[in-house]
Amino acid sequence: MIDLTPFILSFKLATITTVILFIIAVPLAWYLSQSRSKIKPFFEAIFALPIVLPPSVIGFYVIVILAPNSPVGAFLKSHFDIELLFTFWGLVIASIFYSFPFMLQPLQSGFESLKKEMIEASYICGKGFWTTLYKVALPNIKPSIMSGLVITFAHTIGEFGVVLMVGGSIDGKTKVASVAIYEFVETMDYEKAHIYSSIMLLISFLILLFVYRYRVKQ
């Protein structure tokens, strides 16, 4: 019998990360797409770092930030009695850092591709920033939103290094599917490793198939 808990954890982690990242990335992507500031490339480079950094580097810095003796970790412990390392919510925070550019970049390119006059027409029609964003800008970049959501979700499902470093491998709490596969290989239980890997392969393929079919339809 296959234990589905690691898959459920992976899906829960990916869903929460995707939702939080969407909420954070929409206004930021909008700001970056409209900004002509000279320091914009500096911020863009920082936000794109997770694409090129080894997961171990991201994992290391998340540990440094969240450790109980760090300023952030100590603040969370003393004020809210929260410890994030080796917990599910610690994984969520690590995943937000790790998957950030995969949500931000499609949204930013989507906003940049919008006709400037369409946005200006909305202001001329008497509408403010938020109405323009939600009624005009977002509905006109649906393919970019779809790419951002699906790629972020898939990327979070597949993450391994950061998850292992920040969450470890605690059954039912932080042992997601990718970590479970790693453990099966370590213990030479190749049959289970095969089953888990096949399921991950199928899920990843179906997600990508969905994205490409959606693009064709659009």
Binding site for another protein (CB under 8 A): 115, 117-118, 120-128, 135-136, 139-140
Cβ closer to another protein: 30 or 47? Answer: 30
CB burial class (10 A; 0-12, 13-18, 19+) of residue 211? middle
Cβ closer to another protein: 41 or 139? Answer: 139
Cβ closer to another protein: 142 or 215? Answer: 142
Least spacing, CB of residue 128 vs another protein, in Å: 6
Least spacing, CB of residue 6 vs another protein, in Å: 40
CA pair distance 39, 41, nearest whole angstrom? 6
Cβ closer to another protein: 64 or 121? Answer: 121
Cβ closer to another protein: 120 or 189? Answer: 120
Cβ closer to another protein: 117 or 191? Answer: 117
Helix ranges (DSSP H) in 53-189: 55-66, 71-80, 88-113, 116-124, 129-131, 142-158, 161-167, 177-186
CB-CB contact of 111 with 34 (8 Å): yes
How far is the CA of 177 from the CAs of 143, 201, 210, 217, in angstroms? 29, 12, 21, 32
Least spacing, CB of residue 122 vs another protein, in Å: 7
Least spacing, CB of residue 140 vs another protein, in Å: 5
Tokens linked to 73:
């970790």
Least spacing, CB of residue 119 vs another protein, in Å: 9
CA pair distance 91, 7, nearest whole angstrom? 15
CA pair distance 211, 158, nearest whole angstrom? 17
Least spacing, CB of residue 217 vs another protein, in Å: 15
CA pair distance 21, 114, nearest whole angstrom? 22
CA pair distance 155, 192, nearest whole angstrom? 22
